Homo-oligomer: A and B are copies of this chain.
Amino acid sequence: MTSTDRQPLRPTRQRIAVTEALASFDDFRSAQEIHDLLDRRGAKVGLATVYRTLQRLSESHEVDMLRTEDGEAVYRRCSDTHHHHLVCRECGATVEIEGPAVERWTNAMAAEHGFADVSHTLEIFGTCPRH
């Protein structure tokens, strides 16, 4: 197992603020957007801290992180089970989806070619009913 684990995060004012911000929206947002949100709320949190916090949270799977088509990292709070996303290209609306069959398939493919330590990324993009 590749050691992804670290010490538990200290519940500092800043980290709490970031977590609360994450709880206030449902779509994927960039670190900068979250930083702006905090600013507007009056929470003084440095941009670097927002980046660091989101990074740690995504490493521990407390938030989902994915990359937009132009490579920007965006974050969103998430449930604790492994899942994927159906994301609206227009408004960012997101639906978490699970697919045991897909998980099985990726593992089978990897096994078939002798790959170990397998992980995968799967995101579905489209335009939601409202668009």
Contacts and interface: CB of A to CB of B under 8 A. Distances in A.
B115 A126 contact: yes
B126 A123 contact: no
Given A109-B97, A121-B121, A123-B120, A114 B128 contact: yes
Nearest to A87: B115
State the copy count for this chain. 2
Contacts of A73: 71
Contact of A115 (B86, B109, B113, B117): B86
Contacts of A11: none
Interface residues of A, number: 33
A48 interface: no
A67 interface: yes
A124 B118 contact: yes
A117 to B, nearest CB: 5
B102 A115 contact: no
A105 B106 contact: no
Interface in A92-123: 95, 97, 99, 101-102, 105-106, 109-110, 113-123
A122 B120 CA distance: 7
A68 to B, nearest CB: 10
A89 interface: yes
Contact of A124 (B67, B88, B95, B106): B106
